[in-house]
Structure formats: C-alpha cells, structure tokens
Structure 1
Amino acid sequence: MADRGHPPAAVSLPDDWPAHPDLSLALNRMGGFDWNLDSGLVHLDGPALEIFGLRPEEFDGDPGTLLDLVPNGEAARLKALIAQALKEGAPSYGAYFRIRHPDGSLRWTHTQAHIRHEAGRPRRIIGIVRSAEEELAEAALRSDVDEGRRRLTGVVGRTTDLLARASSMDDVIAVLKDEQALGQLKAVSVMLGVIEGGRIRLVCEGRLGAYVPELRYTRIDERFPMSDVVRTQRPIFITSWEEFRSGYPLLWPHIERLSVGSAAYLPLTAQARPIGALGLLYPRHGEFSDDERNLLIALSSSIAQSLQRAMLYEQEHDLAEGLQQAMLPRRIPEVPGARTAVRYRSARMGRSVGGDWYDVLPLPGDRVGLTIGDVQGHDTDAAVVMGQLRMALWAYAAEGHPPPTALARASALLHELGTDRFATCTYAEVNLVSGALRIVRAGHLDPLLRHTDGTCHWIPAAGGLPLGLSTEFTRPDEIGYPLTTGVLGPGETLLLFTDGLVEQPGTDLGERLDVLKEKVRTGPADPTELADLLFDELGQESGEDDMALLLLRRDAAGPVRSPVTGRRSADGAHRA
C-alpha cells in the first residue's frame, strides 16, 4: 500500500491523449457527414467514405450518389424517412439500411443525424454513419436463441397438455410420437421403457423402425443407457458415436447402422420411485445446450407423472374388469329348443367399468328366462351391484316367481342394499314348446323381434320405473311391473340389449335404434353370426359406454324328447 504521507508518483501521458473525436469515431468504424440543404451538397469525412466503400475522388458531394449504393426498396424508405422528419420539423432521425460495396456484398449500416434549423427552416443535417454488421449479427443470434427458447417452451406446453389427458399407456406412447409435441425436439426416435421386476421392458420403439427383439427386455444391472439411468437416477447425454461405442458396447452394434449421432436418456421417477426410462435419438453430433438439457429433464418429470397415472388407471381398470367378469355368467347354459348368443364389452373410459349384465336361465316346464340390465354408474360399485342384482333375479326366477314379482323383489332388494344406484332391466320368459312370451320392463329399452322372413318390429312392452327408484314412491309390497304377453314363433329371434350398443354422442337415439333394426333385418339368421355383425359394426360406432346384447332364436321344431329316456336333447348354440 502506498504511503499516505507522500504524493503519488507522476504518470507520463501519451502525446495524443485524450484522443481527438475524429480518432474515436474512426477506431469505432464511425464516420461523420454534413449535408447542406441549401446547396444540396454532402460532405463525408474519411471514415464515412470508407463505410460507403468510396475513395475521395469517387464522391462529388451529390447525395444521389450515396442513395445509388442503397438497394431500391431501402433507398425509398430512407428518403421517405428524411422527408417526413424535415416536413414535421423533427430535431433528428435514425435508420438502419444496407450499402452495396464494390465486391457486390451488402453490409448493414446505421445513421443517426441532427437537423439544424435557422429562422424556422431546416438548413443542415449533421450526423454520423457507422457499420452495424456485428451489432445486427449479435441481434440475429439473440433472436435465434429466443426463437429456440420459444420453440422449446411450445414443446413443453404442447406435450404437458397432451400428457394431462393421457389415461392409458397407449395415450402416453401417442404423445411421445406426436409431431406437434416431442416431434419438435428434432429427435428421430423416441423410446420408452418401463420397469417390470428387475428388468426394463421397451414399450415404445420410436420411428426408426429399428425393432431389436433381444433389446425388448433388458436387465437393470446390464450395461445399457436405460439401465444406467434407472440405477443412478441421473440423465445421460451421449454426444458422439465414440461415446456410444466405448460406453455401451452391447448397444453399439444396433446403433451403428442407424443415422444417429447423439442421444439423451432420462430417468422416469414418480413419488421418489423409478418407474422407467426415456430415450431420444438425434441425427446430429455434438453437445446438448443447457436449455435443451433443462427442457428434457422437465419433460421427463411430466412424462413420469403421466406414465404412473396411466399405469394406475390400467391396473385399476383390469381389477374392476376382472371383478365385473366374475359377476357375469361363466358360461351360457345350453337351452334345448333354442339357439342363444351373447356379447359383452366393458367401458372404454380409462379405468371405468360399467354395470351391464345378461343372463340365460333354464326354467322348469320347457321355459327359459332372459335378463339384461344396466346399473347406473361406471365403477367397481356398479359392478358389485350388478352381480348382486343378477344373482337375485336368478334366485327369484328359479323359485318360480312370475316375471313381475321377480322384478319387484329385485327392486326392493336394491333399495335395501343402501346404495344410491338404480338399474334398468328387461326380463323375458319364453315357453319353447308353445312360444308363449312374457316380458316385464323396468326403465329399459324395448326388445326387438325378428320374424322368419327378416322383418322386424319393436315389442312395445309396458314398463315401470328403474329398479331401486320404484321403492322411493311405493312400499316394497306394492311395487308392480306390468306384464306384456306375446308369442315367439318358430324360427323367430328375440333381441335384448343395453343402451351402450346404440348410443352415440351427438346422434339422436331414435336414429340409432332405426340403424339397429335395419342391421338385424338384413343380417344373418344365425344368432352367433348376427351377434358378431352387430358388435363389429354398431360397437365401433357407439360411444365409450359398456354394452351387452342377448339373442335367442326359437327352433322350428322346439325341444325334442328322446323316445327312450324321455329327456330333451340339446342342439342350441351360444358363445359369450
């Protein structure tokens, strides 16, 4: 530290300090001009002439000579700017424009000028011109960076929005392949692996068509990028072929034949638990920028949350669907004197399942009971209530109760269960010898009858309130369901179905019922083939509700008794 008691040592200064303004302007590629508006002549100093690419002998002071060096459109814009400033009495103006140099190149230039007024009139324009090439190059670079950030931000927004609506593994995979989502990252392939036990199962293999069977399942302790990120829970960024070759020799033979120069592998973690890994392959070589790395890490977090939600949805749906299937008949019993066919499809709304059911009940006296119904709601509770109602109706019918009583008792039971659910149902009994038909209906759609010649008509069965609701207005011992009677002739077919088969969002139910009627009229007579046709065609057009149908065709000969044993032989057919 200098001694405070002594003055600082004298410092010698250069002879040309401080720099003359002309030197400061020249060193910073700036030149000056003075435009005398009375004479119309322009004076350019040396640096200004250099910026315009002119030698002193090449410039005669005519401003038109300078404008000839500016592209036509920009020259017109510059003249208009100056004219407006002079007309409005502005004190100054500034503008960017390009100058064409002798080598033919165009170089950005900026001018800033002050307008001097005397006696209320503009008399001189004094200003500077400077090279703006580096300045605009930096601005363009910043603009490219900003544009890249906006693109990456758009990728995050689009992908996050799509992932928020994903409710299955297929939905998540569709997002990974969406061109407006991760497709904007310029990756040529996107891979998704999920952890199953001690292995990683590849569920999405990207867009390169590079399916490798031996990599479908890999162990977590093997030397693969996905295995590494699962073990370490840290992303891996590979920037060259050499890194692939040296770091992952087991993977390299499969990468070498692809147009891939770099890759990003990211762990998928949800609730502090690894559930999988994401891999993205790029055609380019080189490092990933900080913005790209941060973006991919953020996206991996969103994908992990969506993937976990989809996996939980599918597990819950499988559980609920398994419960629902357990509540439905394991098999349809053979019915001598008739052919039956049933079809069922569970709801397609994420983890939801519905309460649709069907049943075929062989009864004494050559009779058969048919039930079809739909419990309100799409959850496991609806499936449980459906099973209870199905078994109750089976028990009441087996006890010999007539259809109205069986339905009334089922309605009272549903009320006593203490659930807030209600159910629609149709119960029909057919005597396969006489063809006598008895129908009761609780808020359900009417049955459809097909005659032997193919003509069809709806059976206008009298109906009561849905099961469970009737008890709200009537004492259990007073519940009544009107009985509709008719005849099912030999070779005629009775169709019972739930509304999921015909309902379609945005379409009138009456129109859909007409479509069903026409399909039945023109369809095959065999119940099995007709059931297939209705499910294949109408089932694809319907909404996301579950659906069920039950077909019974009375044989022309009816039940046949053996002359030896007296027992009926069975020639019916059914298929669940």
Structure 2
Amino acid sequence: MPHHGEEAVNGDMSDEVGPGPSAPAPRAGTATVAYDDGFPRTEAVQAVTARVLGFSGAELTAVYVPADAEGDGDLQLAGTAGGWGLPYGLPTHCARSGDSPVATAFRTGVPLWLGPEESATVGSMGVLPLGGDTQRLGCLVVVDKRPDAFGADRRRLLELHADQVAAGLEAVAARDLGRAKGAGGGRLGPGLETLRGGAFTLGLGTGRIAADAQVLALFGIPPEGFDGQVETLLARTAPDDVPALMAIVEPDRLPTPGQQLSFRIRRPNGELRWLSLRCQVLMAATGAPERVLGVVADAAYLRPSADEVAIVRRLSAALAGATTIRDVSRVVVAALRVPLGASRVAVAELEADRFVVTVLDPPEPDAWPEEWRSEWRSEWPDTSCHRLPTLEAAVRAGQVALWPPGAALEPGLAGVGPGGLAVLPLPADGRMAGVCLVGWDEEHRFGPEERSLLTATAGLAGQALVRARALDAGHELTTMLQRSLLPRKLPKLAGGVAAARYLPATVGLEVGGDWYDVIPLSDGHVALVIGDVEGHSAGAASIMGQMRTAIRAYAVEGHPPDVVVSHTNRLLVGMETDLFATCCYVDLDMEEGIAWFVRAGHLPPLLRHPDGRTEEMDIAGGPPLGVVADGEFPLTEVGLAPGTVLALLTDGLAESAHLPVEEGLRKVREVLGAADPSDAGRMADELLGSAKRRDDDVAVLVLRYDGMEVRPTRARWAVWRLPDAVMHARRFTARTLRSWEVTQEMDVALLVVSELVTNAIAHTQGEVRLDLTLAADRLRIAVNDASPRAPVKPGSVDWEATGGRGLLLVEAMSLVWGSVPLSGGKQVWSEIAVSPRERPARGSAEEGG
C-alpha cells in the first residue's frame, strides 16, 4: 500500500469480481496491525495479512470494537490492514455518543458510504456495522483512494463480508478473552483468523464463476489452473455438504437472506478445512435470479475435535433410525445435554407462526420459565413465535446464536439459560424445520469447539426432522386436529383452581379421543367434563370434538347434568357412527360446595379430602354414550368441603395390558394423597407420572375447591301475569335493593327491571321470573321466560312509534347485557355498576307476587 499521497498499488478489486494479481508486499513504512497468529512476518505473509481485512483491495481496512462490553464508553481501533502510522486520520478512539461515521454506523446499524468530502480522507470510505440489533460487535471501516470506489456490487460484497466478520467474532469472542485483550487486539483478536477470505460472482444461467485469488487459495486451486467452472469448486467439497451448496447454484432453491452456510472442503494435501459462505442473489429485470454475489472465509474455528467427530457420528447413526419427530427430538437431546453439561435442552418444530415443542429435558414443568408453563396444554407447551422475538430473530437469521451469562433476553428465554444460552436453528431444504435451545444454569463460556458441534448437530437434525415429518404425515395431521379441539386454556374460577393435562399415546398413531373441558355456568356454577371416545384415529378425534361441543352447548343452555348427558347420548346415537364414548360430567355450585355427578360408562372420580384421605367416589353410572338411545343417566349429589380436591381421569392413566384398572386406581389414589394441593398444576403433573411408553392417551382434570370468601347475594321473584305485574316487580326490586343498601343506582335498576319484565309479559307465554344478584361491584338483573326466541334490538325507532325502545334503554343503562338460551326458554340479563360499600349479611329471598 502506498504512503498517503502516493499512487495506489495495482491489485484493487473492481465491481466485477474475479481472479486478479496477488497483493504486493507492503512498502517500507506500511503498517499491518492485526492479531498475532504465530506466523513469521515475512513480506509475503504481511501481504496476505493485509488482504485479511482488505480482501477487496482497499487502501486501508480497519475494525473498531467497544472498549468495554457493558458501558457506554469509546469504540477503539482494534486492528488495521494497510496504511501507515495512523492512516488517513482515523482516530484510535471514537465516542459512542459522538457524530463520527463510526459511532453513527454503530448506533444505527446502517452502513455509511462516504465520498472524499464527507469522510475527510483522500478517497471514499465505507463504514459497516458488525453484528445485529441484539449484539453490536463493532464496525468495519474500508478506505479506498478512488472517489467512486464503492459501486453497487462492491457494496453488497462488503456488507456480506461484514456479516462474515461478525459471525467469526461472535464465535470466538468468549474464547480466551483475557489473552485477546492482553495481546492488544481487544475483542477482535482471535477473530481475525476468520476474516481470511475472498469474493466471487456466479452467473446462474451459465454456471461460470469469477472468484478472486483468496477464494481459490482457500480451495487450494492455483489461479492459473482455474477454468472458471463452479463444478471445479464443488469437486473439492465434502460429499455430505454438496447438497447444501446446491441450494446456492440451483435457481429454484435460493438461500435464505442473511443465512451463513458452513461447509467442508478437501484440499489437495488431504486436509479437511471448514469454510463459511454468505451470498446474495441478484434478480434480472424479468424477476428471475441472475447472479449470486458471495464471500467465502476460512472457518477454522468450526474444525471439530476427535470427541466431537465421534459425537456427530453417533448422532448421524441414531438419526438414521429415527422415523418420527418425537424420536428425532429425543436423539438430539441425548446427543447434546450430557456432552455439553447443559441444564436444559428443548427441541421445537416450526408450524406456521408457532413453536411447537416436541421434547423437553428435563420434562418437569417447573424446570422451565413461567411463560412456558402458561402454554402447557398437553404433553409439551407451544407458543406463538411473536411472544419470543429474540428467538424468532435468531431462527430468521438461520445461524447458531450464543448468549453469555446474564444476557438481556425476554423472560421466556432468559429462564432457559441464565448461565448461557445457545439457539440452534434446524435448517433443511432451504427453510427452517425447527429450533433447538440449549441452556445452562451455571456460568458457561462458549468455545469454538462447541459451535462446531452445535452447527453439525443443527444440520443433521434439520434434515432428520423433515424426513420424519414426511414419513409421519398422518400423525401430524391428526395431532394438529386434536390439539385444535382441546381447550387452549382453562377459565379462572371464583372459589377454586382447575388444571388439566393431556398426553398422547407413544405407540401406534399417537392420537385418540380423550378430552376435557371446564365450562363456567350461571349462578356461580361450573361444569367439569372428561371423556374418552373409543379408538385411536382421526375419526375418534373428530367425534371427540363434536362431543365436547355438544356438551358445552347443552350445559350453557342451563340444562341439568342428567339432561345434558342424555341429550349428548341421543346426538351420538343419531350420528350413525360405530364409535361410542364414555363421559363423566360434574355440575359444581362454587358458592355452596354442592356437586351433581353423572357418569356414562366412565371411571369414577377420585376425591382428596382436606386431611389428605382419598376415596374412589361411589357414583351411580349409566351406559356409554352412543349405545342406547333411551339410556338412563342417574344423578348423584355430593357435598364438598373447602380444601377438597376432585380428580377426573381417563382409563389410559389407570389401566393397561399389564395393569388392572383396580390396581391402577389404587396407585393413582396414592399419588393424589401424597401430592401438595396448594399447586393444582403440580398435582396434575404428578398424577400423569413419568412413564415413557403409553399404549393409550391420557387426560387428567383436577379441581381444588376453595370455597368463596364473599358469596353473591341473591333474590328471586316469581312474576304473576297480572295487569300490575310490572309495578309489583318494581316494588320487590326496591325493597331488595334498600335491604342491600344499594340506593344510588336504584332508579337505573328500576328502569331496567320495568323494561325487561314488560317485554317478557308482552311477548311470551308461561312463567316469568326475576333474579337479582349482587356480587362485588355489580348488580345483575335477569328475567327468565319460556320463549326460546331471543330479543331483537331495533336498528332504528320512528319518533311516532309506541314500542321498540325498551332494549335501547336497557343497553344505554347497562355495563353489559345479553340473552342466553335456558331450558327451552331464555334469560335476558343486564349488569349495572354499583358503588363500593360494606356488604350486607348474606341472604337469599324467593317470593311470588
């Protein structure tokens, strides 16, 4: 490189990348400041080192890194190639908050391209940020004497080169950090070895490749012996890695933007070398892919040790025999957790915009963050990608991402690896099939050997996942169907806590007809349902969904428990299916603790008393659903004391080919009695047990009944069909509200009562009932009648009309209002906000007028 003001040495790379003259030895006074990798500093080696940072033939290339990892201090000049002394006026330090080009690019993450006037140099300057938004590693500065040095292609190549530099720095930043700083290289030190590389241009239509001398040197091909064919380079590639490279050279399999591809080549002397590739596809005016611009760098930090080679070989052999997604996930977990000493390993598929976990180790829910437990609907959790933006970004980038101890991550990730976290996107066929998370509780520093193992594992696991998904397409369809039919979350209950778990079978098609549901009802009641459709098939899952929907519909209508089950039975008989179902339905009054049970061929519920005693409840049973159209389903009433735990389960938990149902229920009762009732979710997990192999799917529904500290106050009035019925209803309401000390809202309540009772008397026949309920800060007014026809609010009312304004007034006076079907009739209700006050003594009144 010349001194400042001298002519540039020939060897610059133009926008048309291709083999060119090798870089000359620096002249006297030329300075190359870079990591000392142990090579003797002859003139030839100095010339090569100058190309390390300046692969594109620039006069000067420099790297700035943060002086410290946490603070807001300076950016320091960590390494340069070319120039002399402090070339072109580049400072040794730049304040992060300053307005220098380096500081601006570092803060914004946007490359800057400056002419001579803007850069205060004799030529053009490019300043490129290193790293992404989650971790900024520094800036790459390139200075070229020519005023128009950075054309479009060259900018793209430099941006790709900056991404390559950042990947290398991130991979080795944690390795011997103290030595790097002691050598004067800052955080950059060991990473310079990853920057040795060059650039190429590939014509997709012709297969011709123009590669510079650095690319050919990495492949071990002399420039004069290169024929310009891409096949010549592919011939040096390890056979196992050729398919990945074909995603670059084949127009119909374009790479993911920003993705780094690591591959191996065999040099003429037999040496196996790791290289890394980043590229960008340029489109023609017709929209078809035309050219690929890329940079190739030495990735020696990915070279595996003998132990890692053995692990990868064992992993490859194990994955070859894995035929299901679950098997693939288990193999990956087994290959990583023990060798890496990890605290947690999770494998998840990508389904649309959701992470669907396939295996967790350890499997206990409390070993994982609270955000994961809240999504624990079946055997493993699944969650939206958007709830874990850092994980989503890492998967989109398509390369192994590492976070050191104490990294600022969202709680859903920080809790996976507080001592260090690795995220492995699992690529296959040009897309991401899944992701693997490896976390440590104790402080863990990542070395390049680990990155090598993780990178190799990710590639093998991604291909195995896609293969298993293709072999297991039927299972995937039915599993997704069943997942969509089960409740996503259980409702919060006043006076109790419910928890449910579902586990599919581990043999066969792995899908069945077990289901559960928790249905809030009116008047402080809640329905608990558990059921099982015969068989294991998509048909069983489909019938299960219809049964769950039917029971929920009948329950919400307000039918008694025996009527709900009887209606559902007739529905299943009329569906002309050979399948039958068993079911246990419970209607629990959360205020009084009275439960009504109906059992249709199902296992009896289990009860855990507050003192820890357990019992198998003696509930009268009826036939399974779908067997006899006129089957009888007797009703059993049981009182529950606060602190009682009710457990409903399917036969897959208590019965198998090797376990009689009586013995299975006894074991379940032992677990239930020993469990801690303060955590309903933990109780459900303990009831499931840790069996690795299940012949049948399993569902468990647990309710801890706590009782209500403050019970609602209720009053009822049977409305007689008299000319002055509305007046009597208003008088009853006024007396009741005065006794409840609800006076400020009296006028509004009386107006709503007038309108609802008037509508019921005028438009229906049969019994009419007025219900008043005071709970917390709301007064609920409900009028029941015998007509199933829901009221219709008029869209507009003419000023001369004498009717039609009632529902408009109710809507205006209410916080919320509505209508629900109820036992052949309906209930029209309204809720009014009331001022906080000391609650009156609890009571209930029922009168007729």
- TM class by shorter-chain length? 0.3 to 0.5
Of structures 1 and 2, the one scoring higher in RCO (CA 8 A, sep 6+) is 1
Look at both structures and tell me which one has the larger radius of gyration over its CA atoms. 1
